[in-house]
Structure 1
Amino acid sequence: MPPEIRGGRLVISETTFRRRGAKPLYAKVDQVFQTTAGQLVPVETKNRLYLTPGDVVQLSAQATALRSVYGSAVARHGYLRVALAGGVGRYFRYDLLDDAAIDRLVDRYHALRDRKGRPLARPGHRKCASCVFVRPCKAQRGR
């Protein structure tokens, strides 16, 4: 465990937070530690041996939701913990996306969901092979 949070205390565990307002957001945090300096640092645990950019987005969204309750006490960084055999974990520190970046992602999600935006397809990407929309996807057909 990183010294920053080892010296602090666990203050939140497995709790869902909601940011209200024009762009509501729900986020369930795994753990939040309060450092000796008073900062709240989110920690997200993954039970797989790799991390993805989406994991950083998830951790950032959690911080955004936390910030709606705790304000500037929430750190601008967090940790992704990869759970290893025997209950041991390896921690990776990440700078988090700011609230404005999370808002842009929320807007993008809603535009795609409401079919007001176009997906950015990456033809030839390996996920296309397992996508249920592979046949109707115009980007995949080269249009």
Structure 2
Amino acid sequence: MGLPMMGTLLGIGLIVLALVLIYRQPVGVRRAGGRGYGEQERQFQPAEIANGVLVLSEHYLRCDLPRRFGARVDQVYLTPNGMLVPVDTKTGFRREVRRADLVELSVQASVLRHSTSASRPAGNVATWGYVRKVAPGRNPVYLRTQLLTDRELIEIYDRYWLVDGGDAAIPTRDPANCRYCPIAETCSVAPVRTRQANRR
């Protein structure tokens, strides 16, 4: 094999290796510090995210205040006006933010706000975030949602441990919330169908 042919094969090999390294990351996500999602995804993003910078992706953070919380954030963007905005991806066709999604995203924001980790990016944490809904055959949708406050999260956290310790549960306004509760199968106020489904 001649030197020109070897050089061509080596060049092709390097290109393939570069493509593999790029596309080993989650679909549509560039590493933190970049502009964020690729051009195709950016067209579906709110302007503050599309024009912002991805500063965290699939990163675990923890804090001791207001309670000992830990969360793995999907993505956090630094907006052009210096706000840190969390984004959490969920699958499903329904364009809604479930209560469980809201709590999860709010915990991510709280951990981000109170974390003293060296990897915590600089900036003020927004009081809102986005649930990114993805479904087969559909474009992603970003649902902006106002986040729960630290005080509301403390109430949920403390109430959970009281109920787990034997206190009576308080009926929820939305029975769908019981589907995601870890103690629903033994809870006296959870709908019967939910208790049966959780036992399976």
Matched residues in 2 for 1:22 and 1:10: separation? Answer: 26
Please list, as runs of the form range in 1=range in 2, the aligned pairs for 1:4-43 lying within 5 A after superposition.
4-21=48-65, 23-43=67-87
Matched residues in 1 for 2:156 and 2:140: separation? Answer: 29
Please list, as runs of the form range in 1=range in 2, the aligned pairs for 1:44-123 lying within 5 A after superposition.
44-50=88-94, 51-69=97-115, 73-85=124-136, 88-115=139-166, 117-121=167-171, 122=189
Superposition deviation, residue 113 in structure 1: 2.1
**Which structure has the bigger radius of gyration?**
2
Two-structure CA RMSD over aligned residues (Å): 2.2
Give the AA of the match of 1:62.
Q
The one-character-per-residue Cα deviations of 1:60-112 (angstroms, maximum 9, x if unpaired) are 11111111026970000000000133683100000000011001111011112
Matched residues in 2 for 1:108 and 1:72: separation? Answer: 31
Matched residues in 1 for 2:132 and 2:192: separation? Answer: 27
Matched residues in 2 for 1:84 and 1:18: separation? Answer: 30
Matched residues in 2 for 1:63 and 1:113: separation? Answer: 25
TM-score (normalised: structure 2)? 0.59
Task: Give the direction of change, closer, same or farther, for the CA distance of 1:131–1:11 in structure 2 (3 Å limit).
Answer: same
Give the AA of the match of 2:162.
A
TM-score (normalised: structure 1)? 0.81
Superposition deviation, residue 37 in structure 1: 0.5
Most deviating of 22-31 and 75-84 = 22-31
Which structure carries more relative contact order (alpha carbon 8 Å, separation 6+)? 1
Please list, as runs of the form range in 1=range in 2, the aligned pairs for 1:130-141 lying within 5 A after superposition.
130-132=197-199
Q: What is the percentage of aligned positions where both structures have the same residue?
A: 34
Give the number of equivalent residue pairs. Answer: 131
Q: Which runs of 5+ in 1 are unaligned?
A: 133-143
Three-state SS of the structure 1 residue aligned to 2:195 is helix
Q: Which has the higher strand share?
A: 1
Superposition deviation, residue 120 in structure 1: 2.7
Q: Which has the higher helix share?
A: 2
Matched residues in 1 for 2:52 and 2:125: separation? Answer: 14
Q: Which runs of 5+ in 2 are unaligned?
A: 1-44, 172-188
Give the AA of the match of 2:140.
G
